[in-house]
């Protein structure tokens, strides 16, 4: 079977980690199976859909290096929906309802107070033609519901296993608004049929929608696709993703300097039985991707885990792989030796700026023991320097002062960088260069 999937975002907000995950899993499934990915923009909500969100979604996907094979927008497909709507009206699957939102709300409240499930009571099915005309005469426009068949609904979900619903336990979904515009359920099902979607991968918040959709596929004469409902991410303690983290947009992560590969590596494995690994090549992620390994358990999203993964991935990247991004950060002067020296100290690529600053200055040296530093300065080997200079120098300082370990190295590091941690000093010494090293070691004298 040739596989065709779709990622169907609504352009009503920024793309956040949760929908980026659905997008990535859908994309990986397509690529791992030589399938086709349709990017479908679900913009039936004309009030809330915005071009800028659509743009941000596409930018986010491109940043993650996800490509799609075709593209559709629901707002361009009104004619297709109209034809199918006529068909569903003719076959009696769509029926007009005249209740106002307030009347529906009252019904719901009264059902709940009687401890009944708030299922639509189908009162509109009993309306006579005269009653409908009377509503119309009063200026009411109908919304249209899909008449669910009261029979079992079953599917075998890739993630959830066998799922069972009963049509009688569900409210007939509204498919057309009072203004005649079709709603998500209808457009989604029609598109899934028309585009020949074989697998629908989406969040588990859609499970009960799917129960209705299964019957809608049948009503439209089509076989339902295979479904995979992914559990929604929780925060690291298992709670609902907080607003702050839940709304962590791809743009925020991009601006923070995160590697796309760390998001891909995390999302390809989080919630699956495979361990999370730092991948540097997307082909390796694709080759090892298996949708059937995803389980129903709620995956915990921990931003710190993402950053740890980011550090590991960054530590593997060659100078060539990062050169253009260093340029973007204004670090075009950074050469390969510099990159290799600071790479192990980076959590994200933007940290490179900090180490550039430490090497090139200005920095404020921290010198608590001026005499010791003065002694060290006297013992500094003459240039030219190489990677052995540091050990030659510190051996001489050790010999002369009797210091060793932290007592020897920490004051030197603080004098040279103003910091207590950082890249290997043997490398850093060369990157700082003789002139600046001397200047920094002399700092206190100058200040004095």
H or E element, residue 271 = none
Sequence-ordered strand ranges (E) for 42-195: 70-73, 94-97, 143-146, 152-157, 161-166, 174-176
CB of 6 to ligand GLU, least distance (A): 7
Q: Which is nearer to ligand GLU, 97 or 193 (CB)?
A: 193
Which part of the chain contacts ligand GLU (CB under 6 A), choosing from 5-13, 97-105, 300-308, 346-354?
5-13
Q: Which is nearer to ligand GLU, 10 or 414 (CB)?
A: 10
CB of 202 to ligand GLU, least distance (A): 4
Q: Is 49 in the site for ligand GLU (CB under 6 A)?
A: no
DSSP 203: E
Reading across the β-sheet that carries 70-73, which strands appear in turn?
A: 70-73, 36-41, 4-7, 199-203, 226-230
CB of 356 to ligand GLU, least distance (A): 41
Binders of ligand GLU in range 159-188 (CB under 6 A): 188
Q: Is 17 in the site for ligand GLU (CB under 6 A)?
A: no
End-to-end CA distance of the chain, in Å? Answer: 80
- CA–CA dist 92, 96 (Å, integer): 10
Count Cα neighbours of 44 within 13 Å in the Cβ-side half-sphere.
20
- Exactly one of 42, 58, 172, 191 binds ligand GLU (CB under 6 A); that residue is 42
Q: Is 8 in the site for ligand GLU (CB under 6 A)?
A: yes
Contact at 8 Å (CB) between 7 and 26? yes
- CA–CA dist 428, 343 (Å, integer): 12
Which part of the chain contacts ligand GLU (CB under 6 A), choosing from 4-12, 157-165, 235-243, 385-393?
4-12
Q: Is 26 in the site for ligand GLU (CB under 6 A)?
A: no
- CA–CA dist 373, 62 (Å, integer): 52
Q: Is 43 in the site for ligand GLU (CB under 6 A)?
A: no
- Exactly one of 4, 9, 38, 289 binds ligand GLU (CB under 6 A); that residue is 9
CB of 17 to ligand GLU, least distance (A): 14
Which part of the chain contacts ligand GLU (CB under 6 A), choosing from 8-16, 142-150, 271-279, 408-416?
8-16
Contacting residues for 442 by C-beta, under 8 A, at least 6 apart: 377
Q: Is 89 in the site for ligand GLU (CB under 6 A)?
A: no
Contact at 8 Å (CB) between 24 and 31? no
* β-strand partners of 278: none
Q: Is 202 in the site for ligand GLU (CB under 6 A)?
A: yes
CB of 339 to ligand GLU, least distance (A): 40
- CA–CA dist 125, 145 (Å, integer): 10
Number of residues that bind ligand GLU (CB under 6 A): 7
Q: Is 206 in the site for ligand GLU (CB under 6 A)?
A: yes
- CA–CA dist 139, 141 (Å, integer): 6
Q: Is 44 in the site for ligand GLU (CB under 6 A)?
A: no
In degrees to the nearest 10, what's the CA dihedral of 333, 335, 340, 342?
-20
Strands 94-97 vs 143-146: parallel, antiparallel or unpaired: antiparallel
Which part of the chain contacts ligand GLU (CB under 6 A), choosing from 7-15, 141-149, 250-258, 368-376?
7-15
CB of 137 to ligand GLU, least distance (A): 37
Q: Which is nearer to ligand GLU, 147 or 202 (CB)?
A: 202
CB of 243 to ligand GLU, least distance (A): 18
Instruction: Please report, as ranges, the residues that interact with ligand GLU according to CB under 6 A.
Output: 8-10, 42, 188, 202, 206
């Amino acid at each position: 079977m040739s596989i065709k999937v779709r990622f169907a975002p609504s352009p009503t907000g920024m793309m956040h980690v949760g929908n980026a995950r659905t997008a990535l899993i859908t994309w990986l499934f397509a690529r791992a199976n030589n399938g086709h990915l349709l990017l479908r923009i679900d913009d039936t909500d004309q009030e809330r859909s915005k071009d800028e969100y659509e743009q941000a979604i596409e930018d986010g996907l491109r940043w993650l290096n996800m490509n799609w094979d075709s593209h559709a927008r629901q707002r361009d497909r009104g004619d297709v929906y109209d034809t199918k709507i006529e068909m569903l009206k003719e076959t009696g699957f769509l029926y007009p309802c005249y209740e106002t939102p307030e009347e529906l709300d009252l019904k719901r409240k009264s059902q709940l107070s009687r401890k009944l499930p708030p299922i639509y009571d189908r009162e509109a099915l009993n309306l006579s033609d005269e009653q409908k005309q009377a509503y119309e005469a009063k200026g009411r426009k109908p919304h249209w519901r899909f008449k669910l068949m009261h029979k079992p609904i079953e599917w075998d979900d890739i993630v959830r296993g066998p799922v069972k619903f009963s049509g009688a336990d569900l409210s007939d979904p509204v498919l057309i608004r009072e203004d005649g515009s079709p709603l998500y359920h209808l457009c989604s099902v029609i598109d899934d049929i028309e585009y020949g979607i074989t697998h629908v991968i989406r969040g588990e918040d859609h499970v009960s929608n799917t129960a209705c959709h299964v019957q809608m596929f049948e009503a439209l004469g089509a076989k339902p696709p295979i479904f995979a409902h992914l559990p929604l991410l929780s925060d690291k303690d298992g709670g609902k993703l907080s607003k702050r983290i839940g709304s962590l947009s791809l743009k925020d992560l991009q601006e923070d300097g995160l590697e796309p590969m760390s998001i891909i590596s995390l999302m390809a494995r989080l919630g699956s039985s495979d361990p999370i690994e730092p991948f540097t090549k997307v082909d390796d992620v694709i080759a090892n991707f298996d949708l059937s390994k995803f389980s129903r358990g709620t995956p915990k999203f921990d931003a710190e885990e993402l950053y740890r993964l980011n550090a590991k991935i960054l530590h593997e990247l060659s100078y060539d792989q990062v050169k253009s991004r260093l340029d973007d950060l204004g670090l075009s002067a950074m050469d390969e030796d510099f990159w290799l020296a600071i790479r192990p100290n980076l959590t994200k690529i933007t940290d490179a700026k900090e180490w550039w600053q430490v090497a090139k200055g200005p920095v404020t040296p921290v010198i608590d023991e001026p005499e010791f530093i003065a002694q060290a300065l006297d013992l500094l080997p003459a240039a030219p320097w190489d990677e052995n200079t540091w050990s030659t120098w510190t051996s001489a300082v050790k010999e002369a002062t009797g210091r060793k370990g932290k007592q020897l190295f920490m004051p030197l590091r603080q004098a040279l960088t103003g910091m207590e941690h950082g890249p290997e000093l043997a490398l850093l010494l060369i990157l700082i260069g003789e002139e600046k090293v001397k200047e920094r070691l002399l700092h206190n004298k100058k200040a004095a």
